[in-house]
Amino acid sequence: MLPTLNGRLQTRIFMLVVFGGIITFFITPVLPDGLPGVPGFSGDLYQVTYVILATVLVLGILWELLYHLIQQFRWEKDWPTMFGLITAINEGALVWLLLELGLVPGMPDGFYDGELTSTFFWAFFIDFSVIWFIVWIWTNGPMRVPLIKWRFFGGRIV
């Protein structure tokens, strides 16, 4: 199966909303608490992790358009599965850069008052990496069994 652009977009949105949302719900309480300007654990940590998930989703749509353009220069108009895993590096780095620059809207009051701590970086890294890896594993393996049509319709969910 060669995923179409429409199929990749649908799969990315579905996986980040469903799996990303569930994983974020369960992983947020165990992340290291290093929110700038927010002492101790609070509901603000959920706000931060879900805003970051939404940022990854929105930027991911733009990334897919760029990936699609790049793939047009390849013979088979696709790339190896491992590339889907390592794209986490550039996507995660961009989200972190936007956080550092204070360009991610929806963060709790006081979030951008100081520099982002190294503890917060590790919380971000753990959250982002776990979600990315689980979504990648599920999409490239078990998802192909219950969603047989997904495989034969270019990765489209709808």
Give me the number of domains the chain comprises.
Answer: 1
Low-confidence ranges of the chain (pLDDT < 50): 39
Residue 87 lies in a domain: yes
Give the range of the structural domain holding residue 108, as residue numbers without chain letter. Answer: 5-28+44-152
Residue 90 lies in a domain: yes
Burial class (CB in 10 A: 0-12, 13-18, 19+), 52: buried
pLDDT of residue 20: 97
Residue 39 lies in a domain: no
Q: Half-sphere exposure of 89 toward its Cβ, with a 13 Å CA cutoff?
A: 4
Burial class (CB in 10 A: 0-12, 13-18, 19+), 66: exposed
Integer CA distances (angstroms), 56 to 1, 37, 134, 140, in order: 25, 23, 15, 20
Residue 38 lies in a domain: no
Residue 36 lies in a domain: no
pLDDT of residue 34: 60
Residue 157 lies in a domain: no
Residue 37 lies in a domain: no
* Token pair recorded at residue 77: 């108009």
pLDDT of residue 120: 86
